[in-house]
Structure 1
Amino acid sequence: MINDEQRRQDLADFLRTRRMRLTPEQVGLIGGGRRRTPGLRREEVAQLTNVGVSWYTLLEQGRAIHPSSDVLHSIADGLQLTPDERQHLFLLADQQHPVDTYVSHEQVSPTLRRVLDTLDPFPALVIGRRWDYLAWNTMGEQLFLLMEPVPPYEYNAVWRLFTDPRSRQIHNPSWEQVAQRVLAEFRADSVRYADEEWFKRLITDLQRVSPEFRDWWPRHDVRGRTDARKDIQHPLVGLLMFEHTTLQVPPTPELKVMIYTPLPETDTLTKLQHLMAMKVPATPVG
């Protein structure tokens, strides 16, 4: 691993190179004539980021100072860093880069949608940071009965699990175990956005309509996502047995790709192929 001295020097070099690529005009400052070196001056960066010139100079010199998360965000904004550069800045400053929890619209790229389609008849879905199903392939729709929304949180996985009677049916006889596990994973994720209004509304509504959610939520059970076996009682073909895994999408790590692989030495794959022959491809939302 990189030592602290090298990390501070890399941070200093990174800040200097990002500063030198900008012109005063790009950041809304008056140019002030010819400059001996390209880019912004340190005092201009300090002005843009509301920090002291001496303090910022020490940072660019690789001194042992520890900027706060708020200061790093301010520097990233002032230097007009890209999302990748912003994350790199936080790593060099030895801080965890918080996921932006204020993104209101999550998008699934055309490339990822094609990947989902290619996986048929293996069920595959994309879930967002709010636990909304954002996209799925034909068999993902069939597996989780996503043909119709469930208002008012139409494609929210937690809402559907606790309020849609069909979700109880496909997870019988182990619905309680599945629901408690999903709730613990959702609780672990929720620490990043618990102050957001949509989250508060969802929790309030779930407590109002679901006795189980109302009883279990105060327990504060948490767990991470792990590969596991998942059984589904499909209304048309009966028991389906899967190995379930969740993958992250590097460009948008808040998105999760959920893939269900038929369990070997079962008739699950044959049943999936039968379902594929019965249904036309689904049109995903999002």
Structure 2
Amino acid sequence: MQQHARGDAMHNKLGEFIRLHRERIKPEDVGIPAHGRRRTPGLRREELAQLCAVSPTWLTWLEQGRPISASVKVLGKMAEVMSLTPSERAYLFRLADKLDPMLENQMDQGIACQTVDLEAIVDAINVPAYILNGQWDALAWNRPAQDLFVGWLDQPTSSGAEMRPNLLNFMFLEPRAHTLITDWSDRANRLVAEFRADCGKHADEEPLSGMIETLKRESNDFKRWWSSHHVVGRTGGARQFSHPTKGKLTFEQVTLSLSTRRGFKLVMLLNGNNSLK
């Protein structure tokens, strides 16, 4: 009952949001001559429906909050016709409980947010910190993280997307990970479960599917744990390392999602008396 009521409320909010923005559009801004006096401010429902290639009846039902589903294609067209800002577009898709394909494509390509300097974020942190995208490629990291993750973040990198240092590739294909990560088997097993939960239905889509197939082919451990379909959320907690020059190190891991980019994570390893200088 509570879930049904929540769904009705979301439909009502979606319909109200569309109606209010429809009424703010000047007909001439979308190529419709404003002849004579109009009883309704902005666009009429029939006009928005025509511009979005849907029926006026369907749009009426949507604005009335009826439990009908809008496709991502129609939502994208509405956002375009109504000249929604990026924040308004994101809100529209959230109200419709749909994933915006524009953001999905950006995530898949690992495009950094134009308004956020990822390097500046991690450089401002004085403990090991790095930022992962949806494929768990490291997009930015600071010097303490580079010093800690030998065999991963201390390696020469290329600007090409295919050459970004990937956390799963390091964990399963780099022999040094087995000695650096104190409890490698437990951590690697959990990492696969976290990744499965993170990528969800997109695991069957490129570039994730290709990466997963490569890991399954190159690592029996990854293949076995991936096939178990175990799923857990990405959480923090104690992380122990056996560093080749600094010895035993213990950190408290904290993972935060970046609100400006869906799927991006800031990972920090908080330390007490550890020193990577």
Using structure 1 for the length normalisation, give the TM-score. 0.80
Instruction: Provide the C-alpha distance between the structure 2 equivalents of 1:193 and 1:8, rounded to a whole number of angstroms.
Output: 26
C-alpha deviation, 1:188, in angstroms: 0.9
Q: Does 1:167 align with 2:177?
A: yes
C-alpha deviation, 1:249, in angstroms: 1.2
Name whichever of 38-47 and 101-110 sits farther off.
101-110
Instruction: Provide the C-alpha distance between the structure 1 equivalents of 2:199 and 2:6, rounded to a whole number of angstroms.
Output: 33
Q: Give 1:134's match in structure 2, choosing from 131, 139, 144.
A: 139
State the number of aligned residues. Answer: 263
The residue that corresponds to 2:185 in the other structure is 176
Name whichever of 100-109 and 137-146 sits farther off.
100-109
Is the CA contact 1:150–1:164 (under 8 Å) kept in the aligned structure 2? no
Q: Does 1:83 align with 2:52?
A: no
Q: Give 1:51's match in structure 2, choosing from 43, 49, 54.
A: 54
> Which string of whole-angstrom CA distances, capped at 9 and with x for unpartnered residues, describes residues 90-140 of structure 1?
4444x35467322223215555432321212x1111111111001011101
What letter matches 2:154 in structure 1?
Answer: M
C-alpha deviation, 1:141, in angstroms: 1.2
The residue that corresponds to 1:280 in the other structure is none
Q: For 1:1-286, list aligned pairs within 5 A.
A: 9-24=12-27, 26-27=29-30, 29-31=31-33, 33=35, 36=38, 38-60=41-63, 62-70=64-72, 71-93=74-96, 95=97, 97=99, 100-103=103-106, 104-107=109-112, 110-120=116-126, 122-145=127-150, 146-149=153-156, 153-172=163-182, 174-262=183-271, 264=272, 267-268=273-274, 271-272=275-276, 275=277
What letter matches 2:166 in structure 1?
Answer: N
> Which string of whole-angstrom CA distances, capped at 9 and with x for unpartnered residues, describes residues 145-185 of structure 1?
3121589654111111111112222113x111111111111
C-alpha deviation, 1:89, in angstroms: 2.5
The residue that corresponds to 1:284 in the other structure is none
- In structure 2, relative to structure 1, the CA distance for the partners of 1:79 and 1:211 (3 Å cut) is same
- In structure 2, relative to structure 1, the CA distance for the partners of 1:35 and 1:237 (3 Å cut) is farther
Q: What RMSD in Å do the two structures reach over aligned CA positions?
A: 2.8
C-alpha deviation, 1:50, in angstroms: 2.0
SS at match of 1:214: helix
- In structure 2, relative to structure 1, the CA distance for the partners of 1:65 and 1:221 (3 Å cut) is closer
> Which string of whole-angstrom CA distances, capped at 9 and with x for unpartnered residues, describes residues 191-221 of structure 1?
2422322222111211221121122221111
- In structure 2, relative to structure 1, the CA distance for the partners of 1:65 and 1:216 (3 Å cut) is closer
Name whichever of 195-204 and 124-133 sits farther off.
195-204
> Which string of whole-angstrom CA distances, capped at 9 and with x for unpartnered residues, describes residues 12-42 of structure 1?
4321231233344544x34354552553222
> Which string of whole-angstrom CA distances, capped at 9 and with x for unpartnered residues, describes residues 254-279 of structure 1?
110001011x4xx41xx22xx2xxxx
Instruction: Provide the C-alpha distance between the structure 2 equivalents of 1:162 and 1:79, rounded to a whole number of angstroms.
Output: 47
Instruction: Provide the C-alpha distance between the structure 2 equivalents of 1:3 and 1:110, rounded to a whole number of angstroms.
Output: 34
What letter matches 1:113 in structure 2?
Answer: E
Instruction: Provide the C-alpha distance between the structure 2 equivalents of 1:233 and 1:214, rounded to a whole number of angstroms.
Output: 26
What letter matches 1:119 in structure 2?
Answer: I
- In structure 2, relative to structure 1, the CA distance for the partners of 1:7 and 1:193 (3 Å cut) is closer
Using structure 2 for the length normalisation, give the TM-score. 0.82
- In structure 2, relative to structure 1, the CA distance for the partners of 1:20 and 1:212 (3 Å cut) is same
Is the CA contact 2:110–2:133 (under 8 Å) kept in the aligned structure 1? no
Instruction: Provide the C-alpha distance between the structure 2 equivalents of 1:116 and 1:160, rounded to a whole number of angstroms.
Output: 20
Identity of aligned residues (%): 35
Q: Which consecutive unaligned segments of at least 5 residues does structure 2 have?
A: none
